[in-house]
Chains A and B, each alone.
Chain A
Amino acid sequence: MDGIQRTSVSTPVIGASRARARLKDADTFPKILIANARDFTGRPASREKDLGIWQTWTWSQVLGETKALAAGLSALGARRGDKIAIVGDNRPRLYWTMCAAQAIGCVPVPVYQDAVAAEMGFVIDNAGARFAIAEDQEQVDKLLQIKDAHPGLETIIFEDGRGMRHYAQPFLLSFAKVQENGRDLLARDPGFFEREVAQGKGGDVAVMLYTSGTTGQPKGVVLSHSNVLVTALNSVELEKLTEAEETLAYLPMAWVGDHIFSFGQSYVAGFCVGCPESGATVMTDLRELGPTYFFAPPRIWENILTTVMIRMEDAGWIKRSLFKRFMDLAKRVGPALLDRKPVGVVDRLLYKLGDLLIYAPLRNTLGFSRIRLAYTAGEAIGPDIFDFYRSLGVNVKQLYGMTEAAVFICIQPDGEVRPDTVGPPAPEVEVKIVESGEVLFRSPGVFQAYYKNEKATSESKTADGWVKTGDAGFFDADGHLRIIDRAKDVGKLADGSLFAPKYIENKLKFFPYIREAVAFGADRDFVAVFINIDLAAVGNWAERQGIVYGGYQELAGRTEVYDLIRDCVEQVNRDLSRETTLVGSQIKRFLILHKELDADDGELTRTRKVRRNFVQDRYEPLVNGLFSGSERAHIETEVTFEDGRKGRVKADLAIAEAERYPLDQLKKAS
């Protein structure tokens, strides 16, 4: 592929098992960098595409660049304890900046690159950053906008000077110039870098990461070197990550996940981090680099799957039927093979054939040929999506983590991967569930504090080191943690058992026939739900069944559709019956709404989240019907049409009962 030098997966020299011994004297990241330049001298550390060709820097080159940069920053007047903001997409030079800042005792503060100027101003001001390193003109312009209001920001350094020839401000400097100054300083004082690095200790602040702040202003999470280092080392050992890994850094540098995957683990294990050419080229770069280790949130896994499915629809019939046949086989035996569970000889052989014809070429097209380990996290992932990748032989696993933990709280170990749990606690992490259902953890990764926010720190961190996650969850029979909802959204049924509406709704929504679901049950005797069918999926099904319908409302009212949805609901009930904690939350009654929930009517937020209380008030007669035992309920509501006119819709809806199951002891015992 056009001049890309692809390193073959070589046998690691050091490997994961010796990482700890190798780094026993290194308690900060700059010290690790020195060790890496010694142990992995000629091995790749960073990659970036320049003019269409991948450029690679080895660990010893990265050390050289970092030294020059650290000295250059120091020559500009950066002193120990100063904060250095880093603003831009994933670029090798910005990653080097992190370590260069740490080397001279400064604290890197990565900022979300798509933040508007005002948001950026808040972080710069809150952190008290004296220096900012920006990727390009776009970011520099934002910083210039806020500079007058935040005089604490003294110097702006830019990496890419395009379009900035006419910027004459004296406080603007190019990255190359800073490095040049640094090289001058190093020529006069060759021992400068090592001397500065030696002053650093594991307990020093390594990085400040601002939480995105969906509620209120962002909070700066202060993490020490040992926070990041110990969690990185533990996870590297658990997953046996070695210096032979190859990753692609494409998620925001300000996000803790990227900081651990692309910086912490990369330094500890010594593996190479590639940076995409631009945000739009990630999929191409993925294919060219062929990472062995990859992280993506559920949204991205879903998008990739959708692209595959759409392109398969356009393929010829031979390819289509082969794909279908072998994907059915893969779904049946693929995950078991990946988990090294026993599989029949015939299936094994067929899978081998499928690998030759379908799975391997498909993995190659997606850039997953060499993938050894992949993670998903952040929100629930549909079991179909999850199983698709696992059946292809891509080892996708779930993890649970947060900024305050330096990521890892739970990781699914190989062989125990399931779509609906986040796995047992990661090494050296303790997890407990308190009375309210909230998950608490304690680990070496526990953050130091929220920067300049004593109150928030003491609210979230107890005196004996436990941190409140704000999530509700429980441990299942296998000791895996399941996250069910935000703790504040979890209620109780009248009998006191746990009621987690979002958990139930998500389970329902994973069925293609169900577009939206709203569960009720707080302080009630049982759980009941509203269902919105997916018009495309159910419509398609109805066509195949020969059911004639005139529109959404008519289709939603058909008894056949009620039967179809009842199967889905009962499937969810069976799932719930396997969990002691949730056996009481099985759905007893449900109805299919006569109209689709719509943001125009205020029923959904603009990001398509159900506004539960609003829906409950608006459809009060229906909710009463669900809990009264009647078989039908009548409703009259105002709707807003697409053109903005308003009208009234009357409907008489059937209410259906679903079977509930006793606690499934058999499954529990297994």
Chain B
Amino acid sequence: MAASGERRIGDVVLKVENISLAFGGVRALNDVSFDIRAHEIRAIIGPNGAGKSSMLNVINGFYHPQQGRITFKDIARENFGPYDAASRGIARTFQNIALFKGMSTLDNIMTGRLLKMKVPFFWQLLRYGPAMREEVEHRRFVEGIIEFLEIQAIRKVPVGRLPYGLQKRVELGRALAMEPDLLLLDEPMAGMNVEEKEDMCRFILDINDEFGTTIALIEHDMSVVMDLSDRVVVLDYGRKIADGTPEEVRSNREVIDAYLGVRH
């Protein structure tokens, strides 16, 4: 990709320091630290149960770690819920798609604009005057996303009727509707065929390139990770075992052991 070479990677936007998270006796994360820089694509990889999804949940405030500190856009925070994360510009997609199945693609993506809607409830009830103007404005934005993700044909289709690969795309659209500074993608390509994966890769690169969105993603498909990401964090049993460019990580002994198994 000629595009990624020219992209300017900026300063650190998110810093994760010494995070430890346990559920009762189960250690999910153990003293993990890393950072994410503006405009980069950062991958978090690791075997099953390594703590990748837990890490995303910590970042967007769904889990509260027992130890450690998270700094987002220079503000350190502790008890910080998903709503705060969303209103400060962190959007995410889920490993198991979390859309409103009975609603259309358009309406699902419109829900991503929720935090941007400022007109009082009263006007919204009437759907008149300022509420109508606001809705038109948001609809225009959402239509831009629909065009960007090439899902015009399913604009009015209830999401529950769509194939899996398209549902993933709609979920991505909803996250984009928030105009996030940081986009967290939890296994965006799980369960997709090769063609769907290629499409999704292209969209991720385009989002990063056209909107300059910072992206953190969890992914199992190593070739995808190596192609997409600027830097990779590797987790294993809740510990960070490597951090660096795809080339560095690929040749790291511990990473190879974690993925291929090691004889003891």
Contact = CB atoms under 8 A, between A and B. Distances in A.
Interface of A: 49, 51-53, 162-163, 165-166, 277-278, 280-281, 284
Contacts of A284: 153, 156
Contacts of B209: 163, 165
Contacts of A277: 152-153
Contacts of A278: 150, 152-153
Interface in B110-147: 139-140, 143-144, 146-147
Contact of A51 (B140, B156, B206, B210): B140
A51 B144 contact: yes
Contact of A280 (B2, B3, B153, B156): B153
A53 B139 CA distance: 11
Interface residues of B, number: 18
A52 B143 contact: yes
Contacts of A49: 152
B3 A166 contact: yes
B155 interface: yes
Given A52-B152, A277-B152, A278-B153, 5 more contacts: A51-B143, A52-B139, A163-B206, A163-B210, A278-B150
Contacts of B2: 166
8 contacts: A51-B143, A51-B147, A53-B143, A162-B148, A165-B210, A280-B152, A281-B153, A284-B156
Contacts of B139: 52
A367 to B, nearest CB: 14
B232 to A, nearest CB: 24
B195 interface: no
B74 interface: no
Contacts of B206: 163
A51 B152 CA distance: 9
Contacts of B152: 49, 52, 277-278, 280-281
A89 to B, nearest CB: 13
Interface string B18-62: 000000000000000000000000000000000000000000000
A52 B153 contact: no
B151 to A, nearest CB: 9
A317 B105 CA distance: 31
Contact of B146 (A52, A163, A166, A280): A52
Contacts of B146: 51-52
B139 to A, nearest CB: 8
Nearest to A1: B156
Contacts of B210: 162-163, 165
Contacts of A51: 140, 143-144, 146-147
Most buried by A among B143, B152, B209: B152
Q: Which 4 A-B pairs have the closest CB atoms?
A: A280-B153, A51-B143, A52-B143, A281-B153
Contacts of B3: 165-166
Nearest to B202: A163
Contacts of B156: 284
Contacts of B227: none
Interface in B168-218: 206, 209-210
A281 B153 CA distance: 5
B257 interface: no
Contacts of A280: 152-153
A154 B3 CA distance: 25
Most buried by A among B139, B144, B147, B155: B147
Nearest to A282: B153
A278 B149 CA distance: 12
B246 to A, nearest CB: 21
A307 to B, nearest CB: 14
A53 B209 CA distance: 27
Nearest to B141: A51
Contacts of A52: 139, 143, 146, 152, 155
B260 to A, nearest CB: 34
Most buried by B among A49, A51, A165, A277: A51
A270 B26 CA distance: 74
A7 B139 CA distance: 24
B153 A166 contact: no
Contacts of B148: 162
A49 B143 CA distance: 11
B213 to A, nearest CB: 15
Contacts of B155: 52
A281 B156 CA distance: 11
Nearest to A163: B206
A471 B164 CA distance: 47
Contacts of B150: 278
A53 B3 CA distance: 31
B209 to A, nearest CB: 8
A611 B257 CA distance: 57
Most buried by B among A49, A52, A277, A284: A52
A162 B3 CA distance: 13
A429 B2 CA distance: 56
A165 B2 CA distance: 11
Most buried by A among B143, B153, B156, B209: B153
A284 B2 CA distance: 37
A427 B156 CA distance: 45
Nearest to B155: A52
Contacts of B153: 277-278, 280-281, 284
Contacts of B6: 166
B102 to A, nearest CB: 18
A90 to B, nearest CB: 15
B2 to A, nearest CB: 5
A182 to B, nearest CB: 27
B210 to A, nearest CB: 8
A464 to B, nearest CB: 51
A163 B146 CA distance: 16
B52 to A, nearest CB: 30
B200 to A, nearest CB: 15
A310 to B, nearest CB: 14
A595 B3 CA distance: 56
A633 B152 CA distance: 58
B142 to A, nearest CB: 9
Contacts of B147: 51
A163 B3 CA distance: 9
A656 B205 CA distance: 65
B1 to A, nearest CB: 9
Nearest to B152: A277
Contacts of B143: 51-53
Contacts of A163: 206, 209-210
Contacts of A165: 3, 209-210
Nearest to B146: A52
A627 to B, nearest CB: 50
A278 B154 CA distance: 11
A278 B148 CA distance: 12
A166 B156 CA distance: 34
Contacts of A162: 148, 210
Contacts of A166: 2-3, 6
Nearest to B206: A163
A51 B137 CA distance: 12
Nearest to B154: A280
Nearest to B6: A166
Nearest to B205: A163
A28 B16 CA distance: 70
